Amino acid sequence: MSTNISGKEMAGKIRRKFSADVRVQKERRIWVETTKAKLPSLCKHVKGLGFDHLSAISVTDILKEGKYVIAYHLWSYDDKMALTIKTKISRKDPVIDSVGTIWGKNAQIHERESHELFGVKFTGNPDLSELFLENWKGPPPFRRDFDWKAYVRKEHYDKENEREKVYWEEEA
Amino acid sequence: MIEVSKDYDLPFGPAHPGSGNFSVKLKVNGENVTGAKSDPGYLHRGFEKLMESRTPMQNAVLSDRICVLEPLAWNLAHAEAVDELTGTVIPERAKYIRVIMAELSRIQSHIIWYGAMSMGTGFDTGFKLAFGYRDYILDIFESVTGGRVYPAGYICPGGVRRDLPDRARERILKVLDKVDRMKMLEKLENPALLSRMKGIGVLKLKDAVRLGATGPVLRASGMKTDVRLDDPYEVYDQFDFDVPIMNEGDSYSRYVIGIREIEQSMKIVRQALNELPGGKVREPSLKPELAAKIPKGEVYIRNEIARGEAGVYMVGDGTGSPYRCKIRGPSFLHMIPVLEHLLVGSQIADVPAIYWSLNPCPADMDR
């Protein structure tokens, strides 16, 4: 196991170029926080540093602040370290640039999932069609404020069915 | 004479005997596949959302269901995320037991992979033999965890739920000898199997990285990478094992990687059994303490499971449940971008050989 560069050195490289908040959590785990505007250039920069593998894109719904945190989990095959880039966007108007041009089809699929489950729009992604859900008409289901129980009751409660009645009426 | 169009749509799954709960819609011209679109979602259960309203111990049980074919590996990834957030130090013995169970899980998953590939290419004997041998490992799972397929969160936050039963070491070693015998199958070099897989579904290294392939699929394309080696977790850094790689990137090399990884996993299990330390298997040992709150923070866990890279991103906010738990399944990338890429330009008859060589699990794709 040969690592050419330590986590601290890598963090320094990113910090120098972008005045981003870079934190080394432990060996092989670096976290960066950046703004929406700086994200595309930062992503291009770290891709150039060897972070070839986009492991996942995750969305966290911070209801209290009215923000979404988009996190890009990356891995460098050369330097054997993981980097997570986090950026906050508005929850009301969740639009962010796609990183599909940087990490390719892989990124587009992750974005498609995030679009479906959280309603985040990725500008520049050619395919944001539905993935898991079929004919879904409700709000994006993974939002923190999505009350699935109320939704199912409203949309799918068959009042004629005695068995369902027991479940839904007792709950209420 | 009636004019017949040569272009038609051919759905592969979800009711195809070999597809699992997953479908890929093919566009076909004569025998040639001209387009492919994956259609996941038949097993979408929303685990990420469900975990937000449950305690870590309940989530440990839930994490079984992420992948039907290797629940113990997902148990481990979930437990590691909680342990790292809470700062729990796992007893040494528990770490070894975790590794033993995770590697046995990898072996049985690779045996299924071999069986499914045999079935997909019309070599039914291989399929039946594989599932027969897998059952010996399920016997061990039953005696250790209580469940043959689902361990009900055996690997849980804080360690493992209970110690290995009596004579576990002898029983496991005996089963490994049996699996050794199964590997003779590979030496038979079945011509039917080989002619269906050699040179089929070639994935170049550049495309593999671009499309997000990981694990055996990436290694079959020539990348020497393994999370157990590059980013060691538990006690993997204390074992001596190899990471097999191939350069061709076709279905056959993925198959060979699978068989060779079984050997390496057996090597790890034998070492772990020999060095197994004594002591407790869970920390803290009392249940109410385990139901403690998950402190504020976030972690990204990467594990090497049989299919590739498993990822768990967990955010804690000081309550009893994780605020957010993102699960990254390797099949998500293998079955959407990689599969679509490989199928276009292939022949209808090669679809199962390509499909099964990617070791798909619709459950970890949909979550």
Nearest residue on chain B to A143, alpha-carbon basis: B49
* Percent of chain A predicted with pLDDT > 70: 95
Who's near B182: CB < 8 A, 6+ residues apart?
B111, B129, B130, B133
Distance of CA A17 to the CA centre of its chain: 24
Banded pLDDT at A2 (limits 50, 70, 90): very low
The stretches in chain B having pLDDT less than 50 are: none
- Is residue A20 a contact partner of residue A72, using CB atoms and an 8 Å limit? no
Residue A95: closest CA among A36, A44, A54, A139 = A36
Closest-CA distance, B49 to chain A, in angstroms, reads 6
- The answer to whether the Cβ–Cβ distance between B210 and A53 falls below 8 Å is no
- The answer to whether the Cβ–Cβ distance between A82 and B302 falls below 8 Å is yes
How many Cβ atoms sit within 10 Å of the Cβ of residue B285?
12
Instruction: Determine the Cα–Cα distance for residues B68 and B65; give it in Å rounded to an integer.
Output: 6
Banded pLDDT at A73 (limits 50, 70, 90): very high
Who's near A10: CB < 8 A, 6+ residues apart?
A30, A49, A79, A81, A83
Residues on chain A touching B84 (C-beta within 8 angstroms): none
DSSP assignment string, B198-209:
TTSS---HHHHH
Residue A38 backbone phi and psi in degrees, to 5: -85, -10
pTM over 0.80: yes
Residues on chain A touching B46 (C-beta within 8 angstroms): 141-142
- Whether cis (ω within 30° of 0) applies to the bond prior to A126 is no
Residues on chain B touching A60 (C-beta within 8 angstroms): 315, 323-324, 326
Please, where are the H alpha helices in B47-91? 47-50, 56-64, 71-86
Q: Which two tokens stand for residue B367?
A: 């979550």
Provide ipTM, 2 decimals.
0.85
Which member of B41, B52, B324 has the closest CB to residue A134?
B41
The residue assigned the tokens 């911070």 is A62
Instruction: Determine the Cα–Cα distance for residues A92 and A62; give it in Å rounded to an integer.
Output: 12
Residue B250: closest CA among B137, B129, B350, B150 = B350
**The predicted structure's pLDDT at residue A1:** 42
- Is residue B95 a contact partner of residue B234, using CB atoms and an 8 Å limit? yes
- Is residue B345 a contact partner of residue B33, using CB atoms and an 8 Å limit? yes
**The predicted structure's pLDDT at residue B120:** 78
Which residues 284-303 in chain B show a CB within 8 A of chain A? 298-300, 302
All domains in chain A, ordered by first residue: 7-136 (3.30.460.80), 138-172 (no CATH)
Instruction: Determine the Cα–Cα distance for residues B257 and B240; give it in Å rounded to an integer.
Output: 18
Instruction: Determine the Cα–Cα distance for residues A112 and A13; give it in Å rounded to an integer.
Output: 31
Residues on chain A touching B366 (C-beta within 8 angstroms): 132
